[in-house]
Amino acid sequence: MSDYKHYDVIVIGAGHAGCEAALAAARMGSRVMLITMNLDHIAKMSCNPAVGGIGKGQVVREIDALGGEMAKNTDASAIQFRMLNKSKGPAVWSPRAQTDKLIYQRRMKHVIERETNIFVHEAEVVTLLLDKKKSIITGIRTHFEEDFFAKAVVICTGTFLKGLLHFGDKTFSGGRSGDAAADFLSDCFINELELKVGRLKTGTPPRVMKHGIDFTGMQEQLPDPEGHFSHWNDVDKFLSLAPEEMPQQSCWLIKSTLETKQIVLDNIDRSPMYSGRIEGIGPRYCPSFEDKVMRFAHHETHQIYLEPEGSFTEEFYLNGISTSLPTDVQWMMIRSLPGLENAEISRYAYAVEYDFVHPHQLRNSLAVINWPNLYLAGQINGTTGYEEAGGQGIIAGINASLEALSPAKEKMVLGRDQAYIGVMIDDLVTKDIVEPYRLFTSRAEYRLILRQDNCCRRLSKQAHELGLLPWDNYKLVLEEEKHLEEAYAFLHSNRAEGETLWERVRKKKMGLEEIDEIKKLPAEIIRQIDIEAHYDGYIKQEKAQAAKMQSLESWKIAENFEYDMPGLRNESRQKLSKMRPDTLAQAARIDGVTPAEIALLQVHLKRHAG
């Protein structure tokens, strides 16, 4: 008889971070409890029914390369796929898919339930069990006053910590509409773990019914003829139709009107954001519609996308008109939009305000610095988006499993030159998060080598070594790498008109389709060769810069290192003491720390080592 009280890893919260964390830990061999307040809402798409986008699509493919589930789940539920930014360079091409939100949720729930090492449980966690002498978490306590124990704990509570929902002057307790808030756990963070906790805000637009929409005059956005997220050909289609059988759907683009703008201006005093009812700061890069009207007063109109919520619902998501204005104002706003004059609102927009933990208190492994077997992932760390949550979740799950099964083994930390996930986590732990963090391609200084098309080449070896990626999948990566090596060797060793074939392709004097030995390769391989040939000089430059930064990564900084030294400005001393960087490279990325001060630190570290 198994012990239902003891686990290797406990994951709190079953959103997009919690699902990836639980699956990663379980697939590495850990016995995992996944505990959530409503088992029917595992992997619920609380906001838009879509996965991917600028920067975010790269993260989803990185999760896939690491053996995660988000890309597979997206492919199995996609109703539209598009590659964004195709008019720009390949460094910023980003995949995005509309999904059937019900199929997405139900399939992920079933994946979780079919994983033999995961034990799901419905309850609210009210506090953590601590061993303060050892500075470790020993388990959790639920609202049933039951205790469960684990060697490592991952917290992925999303927007639920003391969540408040704002509909104009109406405020309700909740983590999202229809779900109760978690009102006790953040007290444990403050009073027992002594963590710095803050308050953030996000929001969601209204949903409308299809029968009230007049699509005449709207700009139709058709799906790409083909596309997928997962690199693997083993996507299990259970609980959904095969992608080729899923009915593909269009999205529609409209613009708000001057009337819409005036309605907002006439009622701005009724917005909880502007009346002072909301304390938390909202996302700068995904603002509410009233924020757009007030901050960008010179714009008369704003783009709004009508996105289908699935194949088995008539609801449409209005992307671009998130608001917390009162419900009567929402009716006026929506019916002022072209084609929505007779719209029927099925769900009101609202803002949600919630507690988060300032992530400078974490290591790049996502472990809490002062509680090394406690990991945080997702919106609890101040991020936005399903994709950012999933990326953190898989890293937290990997490292929690390592902590539980092989505590002496080095934790997985992805560098800024290895993955967008690495960029995101490094940003979180080295910068002051005062607003919800959103990942963009512009945040990555090495984006030419962090493309969406080469994620498996960058990450799958580590995933296979950790036991996350099956051999059959990794063998495919090795075969592709062999194809690439042979193609590069051929192009560099064969010449035409006094130049190597590589030079001729690089200078666009010749196309790869003209070379018999190359054109027989798979299309994805040819695409990578083409990109790397045309951007050869820039890629070499980025790799050289990354190698230079690696030299600073090798300079480790002890946890108890004292920054009270002559030559450091007070501002830098305070930031370094607060952030506690692990390496000199990480110290260099802290806002306000100058190159001269990094050189000074290097001298002191050398003396300290001596």
My answer on whether 537 and 560 are in the same domain is: no
Looking at residue 366, what DSSP letter applies?
A: S
Q: How far apart are CA 569 and CA 444, in angstroms?
A: 28
Residue 396 lies in a domain: no
Distance of CA 231 to the CA centre of its chain: 18
My answer on whether 308 and 262 are in the same domain is: yes
Task: Give the residues across from 307 on adjacent strands.
Answer: 317
The number of domains in the chain is 3
Strand ranges for 277-421 from DSSP E: 303-308, 315-319, 345-347, 350-357, 367-368, 371-376
Residue 175 lies in a domain: no
Q: Which residue's structure tokens are 């289908």?
A: 308
Looking at residue 147, what DSSP letter applies?
A: E
The CA-based angle 188-191-196, given to 5 degrees, is: 90
Residue 305 lies in a domain: yes
Q: Which of 246, 181, 204 is CA-nearest to residue 346?
A: 204
φ, ψ for residue 230 (rounded to 5)? Answer: -75, 140
Q: CB–CB of 95/57 below 8 Å?
A: yes
Residue 580 pLDDT: 87
Which H or E run contains 255?
A: strand 251-255
Share of the chain above pLDDT 90, in %: 78
Choose the final residue of a domain: 294, 320, 353: 353
Choose the final residue of a domain: 322, 353, 384: 353
Q: Which of 292, 334, 355 is CA-nearest to residue 155?
A: 355
Residue 423 pLDDT: 94
The tens digit of pLDDT for each residue in 434-461 reads 889 999 888 888 999 999 999 999 999 9
Residue 365 pLDDT: 97
Q: How far apart are CA 24 and CA 148, in angstroms?
A: 20
Q: How far apart are CA 53 and CA 136, in angstroms?
A: 38
Q: Which of 350, 368, 346 is CA-nearest to residue 358?
A: 368
Confidence class for position 233, pLDDT limits 50, 70, 90: confident
My answer on whether 524 and 567 are in the same domain is: no
* Higher-scoring residue by pLDDT: 247, 386: 386
How many alpha carbons lie under 13 Å from residue 74 in its C-beta half-sphere?
31
For residue 465, give both structure tokens. Answer: 């070594």
- Arithmetic mean of pLDDT, 287-313: 92
Looking at residue 420, what DSSP letter applies?
A: H
My answer on whether 515 and 573 are in the same domain is: no
Strand pairing category for 94-99 and 50-52: antiparallel
* Higher-scoring residue by pLDDT: 545, 182: 182
Q: How far apart are CA 364 and CA 288, in angstroms?
A: 31
The tens digit of pLDDT for each residue in 183-219 reads 999 999 999 999 999 999 999 999 999 999 999 999 9
For residue 363, give both structure tokens. Answer: 């290591």
My answer on whether 279 and 234 are in the same domain is: yes
Q: Picking from 22-26, 191-195, 267-271, 590-594, which range would have the lowest pLDDT averaged per residue? A: 590-594
Choose the final residue of a domain: 320, 353, 386: 353
- Arithmetic mean of pLDDT, 315-333: 96
Any idea what the CATH number is for the domain that residue 586 is in?
A: 1.10.150.570
My answer on whether 499 and 535 are in the same domain is: yes
CB-based contacts of 570: which residues, under 8 Å, 6+ apart? none
My answer on whether 480 and 603 are in the same domain is: no
Q: Taking the CB of residue 179, how many other CB atoms lie within 10 A of it? A: 18
Check pLDDT > 70 for residue 237: no
φ, ψ for residue 540 (rounded to 5)? Answer: -60, -40
Which H or E run contains 209?
A: strand 207-209
- Arithmetic mean of pLDDT, 14-25: 98
Residue 336 pLDDT: 98
Q: How far apart are CA 546 and CA 450, in angstroms?
A: 12
- Arithmetic mean of pLDDT, 23-37: 98
The tens digit of pLDDT for each residue in 84-104 reads 999 999 989 999 999 999 999
Q: What is the mean pLDDT of the chain?
A: 92
Check pLDDT > 60 for residue 288: yes
Check pLDDT > 60 for residue 240: no
Q: What is the dihedral of CA 368, 374, 378, 383, to 10 degrees?
A: -10
Residue 38 lies in a domain: no
Residue 284 pLDDT: 66
Residue 438 lies in a domain: no
Residue 244 pLDDT: 54
My answer on whether 496 and 532 are in the same domain is: yes
For residue 170, give both structure tokens. Answer: 């109406």
The CA-based angle 105-163-100, given to 5 degrees, is: 20
Distances (CA, A) of 358 to 13, 202, 227, 273, 487: 18, 16, 38, 22, 47
How many residues comprise the chain?
Answer: 610
Q: How far apart are CA 610 and CA 607, in angstroms?
A: 5
My answer on whether 241 and 275 are in the same domain is: yes
Check pLDDT > 60 for residue 238: no
H helix runs in 28-141, sequence order: 56-65, 70-77, 101-114
Residue 154 pLDDT: 98
Residue 327 lies in a domain: yes
My answer on whether 538 and 558 are in the same domain is: no
Structural domain that includes position 523: 471-543
The tens digit of pLDDT for each residue in 474-497 reads 999 999 999 999 999 999 999 999
My answer on whether 537 and 587 are in the same domain is: no
Distances (CA, A) of 354 to 21, 59, 159, 243, 272: 22, 25, 5, 36, 15
Check pLDDT > 80 for residue 239: no
Q: How far apart are CA 272 and CA 397, in angstroms?
A: 37
Any idea what the CATH number is for the domain that residue 221 is in?
A: 2.40.30.260
My answer on whether 347 and 475 are in the same domain is: no
Q: How far apart are CA 189 and CA 357, in angstroms?
A: 8
Q: How far apart are CA 360 and CA 511, in angstroms?
A: 48
- Arithmetic mean of pLDDT, 398-413: 96
The CA-based angle 259-49-431, given to 5 degrees, is: 85
Check pLDDT > 60 for residue 358: yes
Q: Directed axis angle between helix 258-266 and helix 327-335, to 10°? A: 160
Residue 341 lies in a domain: yes
Residue 285 pLDDT: 60
Residue 120 lies in a domain: no
Share of the chain above pLDDT 70, in %: 97
Q: Which of 69, 61, 356 is CA-nearest to residue 195?
A: 356
Q: CB–CB of 357/158 below 8 Å?
A: no
Q: Is 460 helix (H, G, I), strand (E, B) or coil?
A: helix
Residue 596 pLDDT: 84
Dihedral (CA of 7, 8, 13, 19) sign: negative
Q: Which residue's structure tokens are 């505590």?
A: 407
- Arithmetic mean of pLDDT, 290-296: 89
Q: What is the dihedral of CA 271, 167, 288, 452, to 10 degrees?
A: 160
Work out the burial of residue 222: count CB atoms within 10 Å of its CB; fewer than 13 is exposed, 13-18 middle, 19 or more buried: exposed
Residue 409 pLDDT: 94
Looking at residue 504, what DSSP letter applies?
A: H
